[in-house]
Structure 1
Amino acid sequence: MSVRPPDPPLRERWDRRMEIPLAVASLVFLAGYAVRILAGSHLPKAWVDLCLAVILAAWAVFGVDYAVRLRLSGQGVLRFVRTHLLDTVVLVLPLLRPVRMVNLYYRLQGRRDTPRFSLYARVMVYAGLSASLLGFAGALTVFRFERDAPGASILTFGDSVWWTCATLATVGYGDVTPVTPMGRLVAVGMMACGLALLGAVTGSFSSWLIQVFTREDEREDEQRPPGGSPGA
């Protein structure tokens, strides 16, 4: 006997209620991870354990949210994983949570019939925040694996941040590059995310420009005298 899916408002209420807790948990997770990477060797063991506890607690919040959304979906586990692949990847790799912000761009595309600049501006702001958070997380991860690797050119966190900015912007100067397998794997992900974020921002800005030009043309047509020509 199949389980009847719950009403959509119930899922929507859960999503709205979890927006702030998930955002806070994401920042807490990132902060704990950053402290462990940047100051782990200089911290007392008690502080290191505290950072680990904070990271695990934030991860638990992500897991509870995923489980509740799975239950509310009324779908089987395998089907839910297939239809929410990005959410599943983010659960396994919480540092990728900023990538979920890109989904906002695609959701807004379904509302193109009534475009408003505030929506497009919001997409660009969210994409910028996502790029910043994702870049910071990527820089931390690359720095963790590269700083002690033989022949590494990324020796400081500043080097890692510089490399991250060049990679997300798809510039790729090549003055510093990862040499470890994990560093290169992170680089591939950063390239893909950089292209996606740039595409979201560029697409939103282009759509807004087209909207502005279309309104100007319609305004000129309304002000033009009946029977007149553009060159009259």
Structure 2
Amino acid sequence: MTAASTGGDRSARDVVRFYLLDHRTPLGKVIDVGLLALNLVFVGVFVAETYALSPATDALLWELEVAIALVFLVEYVLRLYGARSRVAEFFNGYTMVDLLAILPTLAVLVLPLSAVGVNIGFLRVIRVVRVLRFYRFTRDAEFFFGTVTDNTLRAVKLLLTVLVIFFVSAGLFYSAENAANPGVNTFGDAFYYTVVTLSTVGFGDILPVTTAGRWVTVATILAGIIVIPWQASKIVKEWGHKGKVNVTCPECGLAYHDADASHCKACGHVIYQELDSRE
């Protein structure tokens, strides 16, 4: 169904909600691709700002960050406007991440701080959640290029989870160590440390020297050994059900049985599953 299919029955809120969720119409695909591209640039700006650049480049990156933040602010407002329940949308995890992602930039615009001020204190910590916006693009199996299988979607989420843990941990570690640790001068240094730490290689060329840095390292390791296996188990579980047929037992309600099953393996009830004699 398209936005035009219901004619005048759709209100402006319905149209806004439709196109922010749509993956099939040309306009819906353009919005999806545009937001994804802007998110990549937004994350790239955060990384670039941790390097020593010329004043002209710093100013250009700041202007780009502000412009993209304003676009995301418009998107945030439109999502609240078009939502069926604005309270539920406000407390939605994706929506809260959207707001947190742009708060540091908006704070610099509103508060009497210079653009450099966004690099200090809690503002630096908040900025790393920008990468969490990518989870919004994996909320269902439909993408702007088509629909993927559930197993593919789980694999995408697993890969994204690994990258998010690396990126967020590196951002937090950089924020905690940059001022005190001579080995952490850029985001790349912090990312290198995070990858080496989570892979248990532990070269020892970079070590946390602050209390905050040590706690970030502990949290990173815990996240790595808990979240990643949890996501991976979903893929393994799906592979384990491969070849099973979605037939529900009318007696006990157990779903998914072996292809040649005639009785429910839980209660023994006859499920009369049909089989092709040619197989």
TM-score by length of 2: 0.56
What's the offset of the Cα at 1:197?
4.6
Aligned to 1:201: 232
Aligned to 1:99: 132
Amino acid at match of 1:143: Y
What's the offset of the Cα at 1:71?
0.6
What's the offset of the Cα at 1:28?
0.8
1:96-136 alpha-carbon deviations (Å, 9 max, x no partner): 2443555677756xxxxxxx983212321243145325523
1:66 and 2:107 matched? no
> Compared with structure 1, are the counterparts of its residues 223 and 192 closer, same or farther at alpha carbon in structure 2 (3 Å cutoff)?
same
Counterpart-to-counterpart distance in 1, 2:49 and 2:197: 24
Aligned to 1:149: 180
Counterpart-to-counterpart distance in 1, 2:164 and 2:210: 23
1:11-160 paired onto structure 2 within 5 Å:
11-16=17-22, 17=28, 18-38=31-51, 40=52, 43-76=53-86, 79-82=88-91, 84-93=92-101, 95-102=128-135, 107=140, 118-132=149-163, 135-136=166-167, 138-149=169-180, 154=184, 159-160=189-190
Unaligned runs of 5+ in 2: 1-10, 23-27, 102-126, 142-146, 246-256, 263-274
Amino acid at match of 2:259: E
Counterpart-to-counterpart distance in 1, 2:32 and 2:212: 31
Aligned to 1:113: none
> Compared with structure 1, are the counterparts of its residues 105 and 63 closer, same or farther at alpha carbon in structure 2 (3 Å cutoff)?
closer
Aligned to 2:191: 161
Counterpart-to-counterpart distance in 1, 2:236 and 2:221: 22
Structure ranking higher in helix proportion: 1
Q: CA RMSD of the aligned region, Å? A: 4.1
> Compared with structure 1, are the counterparts of its residues 103 and 21 closer, same or farther at alpha carbon in structure 2 (3 Å cutoff)?
closer
Counterpart-to-counterpart distance in 2, 1:64 and 1:193: 33
Instruction: Choose 1 or 2 for highest CA Rg.
Output: 2
SS at match of 1:22: helix
